[in-house]
């Protein structure tokens, strides 16, 4: 009866379903199975779900071409087989840099900015989109190419007071390098209060964009301040000076335009999750959950709890596929110190954004005003991967979507891929798919200098390694279709001398 309906009508109905629904429909009859397996618009739904992605808005691609590209990308990443390699020589020092939506952006100490469009499989050339002087020296910046938006953090060098120094955020258009037309006001001024111990020294400054909101986190040693604005309306959403943050705040990251977390060195380390209302001025930060890291020995202290993730993009990209929000990986760099001999112990913890979204939803379901308090055993063993590390990151943008590129060690390229629980079964796989190097077993960190008991973690992932012919790089960056090797000509100045782009 169903198959007497025109195929075009059946396809239109099936296009309104998600991947799980299509899998169930596929079992109804052979006719439906054939339609779902061979019609490219339906294949695209399953391929995107399998890859944890959303579609590009690039109209050059038809459905069948996008399906082929997704299968091609998955196969090439699984074997680290790139299709091209190009190198670009970079001039000048490096004050800050970003890799977002196929753009590499760098500023230097003289206020010069370089915006470079990286090679793709279709166009294997570098395109310089901008190379100019800003007229000021930004200390940090963030960008969202889908909104033509770049936000600069400027720490004023002029006189302040004994208690604070002036700082500002400047909201610009990437294409025009002028104040953004959607911004109610282009400059947000604020104070950075001097630390009682470290004075005017800035230890960490983090600028991030998530849709309509921009956040800046400044740590001056023993104190930190977080401010979040709606950059379009010009209103201050929250300020940690008024909205209490957890003690010993160390770092900060957005999960979405309405959710962020702050890492803290309190106790054995805590990830404090907060929600905001981007449309309500002065609404502040709502503490929804505290996730405690594993308990540690009395002779150990947590010294570092940094965090890093893929930059948030407000709209679908016109250039590439985008990671589904809940699939984005967050990487935590953790350092413990033994107080007996001052030995350092380095670890990295990997967690998907779905972890923080879950605890936000749990807070709302409970209907309580107090945050959810979660011990490590409540959330860590099955929702994270906690690994010992013999090396540390010197360069950022090492995580994109569900993939993480490890620090450069000798001449080995190492990629961790956490996309191992796709919804689509083998029937949707390309017949040419090749498996990655290895699926890693659960991790068990033994007790001893740091931990009181065995720390288990089971978030599944694949690891792929590839030896490069020479060691002419100092770090790696990654996005959906590239690995970018950074070469530093003068290590003492951290000047990026060259970019080697491997396109997949």
Cβ atoms of residues 355 and 327 within 8 Å = no
User: Which domains does the chain show, CATH number per domain?
Assistant: 2-70 (no CATH), 94-407 (2.120.10)
3-state SS of 377-396?
HHHHHHHCEEEECCCCCCCC
Q: Which of 221, 307, 212 is nearest to 257 (CA)?
A: 212
pLDDT digits (tens, 9 = 90+) for 421-453: 544 444 444 434 444 557 789 999 999 999 999
Residue 393: predicted pLDDT? 85
CB atoms within 10 A of CB 199: 11
Residue 211: predicted pLDDT? 97
Whole-prediction pTM value?
0.92
Q: What is the DSSP string of 360-371?
A: HHHHHHHT-SSP
CB atoms within 10 A of CB 341: 8
Cβ contacts of 383 within 8 Å, gap of 6 or more: 351, 352, 355, 459
Distance between first and last Cα of the chain = 45
Ranges under pLDDT 70 in the chain: 1-3, 58-60, 157-163, 194-201, 421-437, 491-494
CA atoms within 13 A on the CB side of 346: 7
Q: The dihedral of CA 427, 433, 434, 439: what is its sign?
A: negative
Cβ atoms of residues 214 and 168 within 8 Å = no
Retrieve residue 202's tokens. Answer: 């800035």
Residue 427: predicted pLDDT? 44
- What is the DSSP code (8-state) at residue 109? T
Segment holding 356, helix H or strand E: helix 353-366
């Amino acid at each position: 009866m169903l198959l007497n309906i025109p195929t075009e009508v059946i396809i239109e109905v099936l296009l309104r379903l998600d991947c799980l629904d299509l899998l169930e429909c596929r079992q109804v009859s052979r006719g439906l199975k054939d339609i779902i397996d061979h019609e490219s618009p339906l294949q695209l739904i399953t391929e995107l779900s399998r890859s944890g992605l959303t579609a590009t808005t690039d109209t050059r691609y038809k459905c069948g071409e996008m399906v082929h590209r997704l299968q091609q990308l998955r196969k090439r990443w699984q074997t680290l087989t790139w299709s091209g390699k190009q190198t670009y020589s970079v001039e000048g020092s490096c004050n800050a840099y970003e890799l977002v939506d196929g753009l590499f952006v760098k500023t230097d100490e003289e206020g010069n900015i370089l915006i470079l469009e990286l090679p793709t499989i279709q166009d294997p050339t570098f395109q310089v989109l901008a190379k100019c002087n800003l007229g000021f020296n930004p200390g940090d910046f963030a960008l969202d190419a889908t909104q033509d938006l770049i936000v600069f953090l400027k720490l004023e060098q002029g006189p302040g007071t004994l208690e604070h120094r002036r700082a500002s955020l400047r909201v610009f258009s990437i294409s025009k390098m002028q104040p953004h037309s959607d911004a109610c006001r282009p400059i947000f001024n604020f104070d950075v209060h001097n630390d009682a111990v470290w004075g005017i020294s800035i230890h960490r400054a983090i600028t991030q964009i998530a849709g309509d909101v921009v956040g800046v986190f400044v740590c001056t040693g023993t104190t930190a301040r977080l401010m979040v604005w709606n950059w379009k309306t010009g209103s201050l959403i929250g300020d940690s000076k008024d909205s209490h943050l957890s003690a010993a705040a160390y770092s900060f990251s957005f999960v979405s335009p309405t959710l962020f977390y702050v890492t803290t060195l309190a106790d054995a380390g805590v990830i404090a999750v907060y929600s905001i209302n981007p449309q309500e001025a002065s609404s502040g930060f709502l503490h929804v959950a505290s996730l405690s890291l594993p308990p540690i020995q009395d002779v150990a202290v947590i010294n570092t709890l940094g965090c890093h993730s893929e930059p948030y993009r407000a709209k679908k990209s016109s250039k590439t596929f985008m990671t589904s929000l809940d699939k984005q990986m967050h990487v935590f760099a953790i350092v413990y110190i033994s107080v007996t001999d001052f030995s350092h112990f380095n670890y990295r913890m990997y967690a998907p954004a779905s972890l923080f979204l879950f605890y936000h939803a749990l807070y709302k379901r409970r209907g309580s005003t107090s945050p959810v308090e979660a011990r490590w055993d409540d959330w860590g063993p099955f929702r994270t991967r906690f690994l010992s590390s013999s090396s540390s990151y010197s360069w950022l943008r090492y995580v994109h979507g569900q993939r993480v590129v490890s620090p450069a060690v000798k001449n080995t390229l190492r990629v961790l891929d956490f996309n191992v629980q796709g919804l689509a079964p083998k029937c949707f796989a390309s017949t040419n798919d090749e498996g990655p190097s290895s699926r890693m077993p659960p991790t068990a960190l033994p007790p001893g200098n740091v931990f009181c008991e065995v720390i288990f973690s089971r978030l599944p992932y694949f690891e792929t390694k590839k030896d490069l012919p020479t060691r002419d790089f100092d770090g790696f960056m990654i996005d959906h279709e590239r690995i970018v090797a950074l070469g530093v000509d003068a290590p003492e100045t951290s000047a990026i001398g060259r970019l080697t782009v491997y396109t997949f």
